[in-house]
Structure 1
Amino acid sequence: LFSAVVAPFLLASIPMLQPDLQRATLNALLQISAQLPVNQTSAGISVTYPPEDAWLTSRWPLVINMLWSLALVIGLVTAVFAMLVKRWLLAFQQKRDNTLPDDVDGFREQSVGLRKWGVNLIVGLLPLCLHFAIAVFLIGLIPFTWHVSKALGVLVSTLVSVGVFLYGLAALLGHMVVSCPYTAP
């Protein structure tokens, strides 16, 4: 689901990386016209170039696309690993169900194998990876919305800030208060 949200944003922002062909054509025509004499006796006309869009000549479009591409890749890789972990655990469960009741050693060996190969660690890292991908996406969303509209940028920045504050509060409360059910990686 997260990747389905990020992909359209990435597709919409990719054209920001392309050069503005209309502006390049206009600049070339203005340069040519500046070099042509108005008539045989005059030196020529003074040409003023339209101001460049500071946003498009900055690195922000590239940074935003890099952040969103990173978020998309992390989200997709996390989804693939989630499917793999599910498969591993289902295979473990099938082996456990097929183990004879008196084959305690076989069950213990399978359980040790899960721990030895870090399946618990991988399961614990999956939500962390997804949280990181969402954070990277939101970091890119802030300058993108500021470029579109200052009011939209303020709104998105405020909402992201409130979300980060609540996330941090939940993480802290979960570690500081024993009875608090909130936890965050």
Structure 2
Amino acid sequence: MADLSLFAAELRRACDTLENLVKTTASAEPEAADNVPSAEDPDATASHIIEADSIPPHDNAPVEDGPKWLNPEPDKSDNAEIWRTYVEEADKHDAALMKRWNEGIDVFLLFTGLFSAILSAFLVLAWPALQPDSSQATSDALAAISQQLLLLSSGLSMNASAAYQTPSFTPPRWALAVNCLWFTSLFVSLLTAVLAMLVKEWLSAYNDGVALVPLERAKQRQMRYDGLIKWNVPSIVSLLPLAIHLAVFLFLLGLVVFAWPVNNGLFALMTLLLFTGLGLYTSSAWLPTVYPSCPYRSP
């Protein structure tokens, strides 16, 4: 019962508070209505109209710009984001390009070294053919001396024409052709290897002494890249394999000529293999021009 009495008292107090609030609101509304100008009071209406006319229209109100972080000014400094982005992307492109060229040149130098060693071994065999055979000259001299001794022992007179004379030597044509082809091949191979080492030094200097400021680095990179294109460095890199291909072809051609005086069957076999390889090489360079999807692409 005590709880019900307390609840009833609180409810009565809340009702009284709500009633007082309603009375206060009702008494404030007539005062607000008295402040509104009526049609019977022209001065008050005019004053309100003037005050309304003094308010600038909405369309002519100045539009404030948003916060500065919504419309940032472009960064025109040397460390601007655009230059940093350019340098990063250019470095990625240049790194991939230099890696591809350097790897190709490394393989090229390895092959050139092996090829030059093999070619030098064959030159050791072909070089003596350009010189007179010393053993044969010794045999001829001994035969002439024996003949002279025989004439002296028989009591016959020996005239000056019977004296031994060293025969003149003319190298065979095949030996001359083989040595010309193989020496030319060795010269082209070594010269191309030297050029390849020079190209590696050029590529190494491409990234030396780079600037630290992004704008200066961008200008420096573009100048160096334009220099690569202007001075045909990509073309030189592409021509290096063609030069060693020429050296290999000269070596194979000399090998065919070298087999000519040895045996006709061996000469025919070497000729057939040479023309077969030459046909395959020519086809691999010609097919991509006719069939764009052909993967047989070479420099």
For the superposition of Structure 1 and Structure 2, which TM-score range results when normalised by the shorter chain? 0.7 to 0.9
CA distance in 2, matches of 1:161, 1:34: 55
TM-score computed with the length of structure 1 as normaliser? 0.79
- Cα separation, partners in 2 of 1:106 and 1:27, compared to 1, 3 Å: same
CA distance in 1, matches of 2:280, 2:193: 25
1:175–1:183 CA contact under 8 A, matched in 2: no
Superposed CA deviations along residues 11-50 of structure 1, whole A, max 9, x for unmatched, are 121111220123223334445627964845799xxxxxxx
1:142 aligns to 2:229 (yes or no): no
Superposed CA deviations along residues 55-114 of structure 1, whole A, max 9, x for unmatched, are x84221122112111111111111111121112112213456x56433321111111121
| Max Rg structure | 2
CA distance in 2, matches of 1:6, 1:173: 31
Superposed CA deviations along residues 103-135 of structure 1, whole A, max 9, x for unmatched, are 321111111121222212211221111111111
CA distance in 1, matches of 2:222, 2:266: 56
CA distance in 2, matches of 1:160, 1:126: 22
What is the aligned partner in structure 1 of residue 115 from structure 2? 2
| 124, 128, 131: which one aligns with 1:18 | 131
Moved more, 86-95 or 127-136: 86-95
1:161 aligns to 2:275 (yes or no): yes
| 120, 127, 138: which one aligns with 2:234 | 120
CA distance in 2, matches of 1:16, 1:149: 17
RMSD of aligned C-alpha atoms?
2.6
Deviation (angstroms), 1:142: 0.3
- Cα separation, partners in 2 of 1:75 and 1:41, compared to 1, 3 Å: closer
CA distance in 2, matches of 1:99, 1:78: 36
| 96, 99, 102: which one aligns with 2:215 | 102
1:62 aligns to 2:176 (yes or no): yes
- Cα separation, partners in 2 of 1:169 and 1:95, compared to 1, 3 Å: farther
> What count of residue pairs does the alignment treat as equivalent?
172
Percent identical pairs in the alignment equals 41
Query: After the TM superposition, which residues 36-51 of structure 1 pair with which residues of structure 2 at under 5 Å, given as runs?
Result: 37=151, 39-40=154-155
Q: Which runs of 5+ in 1 are unaligned?
A: 44-55
1:178 aligns to 2:292 (yes or no): yes
TM-score computed with the length of structure 2 as normaliser? 0.51
Structure 1 residue identity aligned to 2:282:
G
CA distance in 1, matches of 2:199, 2:138: 54
Q: Which runs of 5+ in 2 are unaligned?
A: 1-113, 159-169
- Cα separation, partners in 2 of 1:41 and 1:101, compared to 1, 3 Å: closer
Structure 1 residue identity aligned to 2:116:
S
CA distance in 1, matches of 2:194, 2:253: 24
Q: Find the residue that maps to 1:148 and give its secondary structure.
A: coil
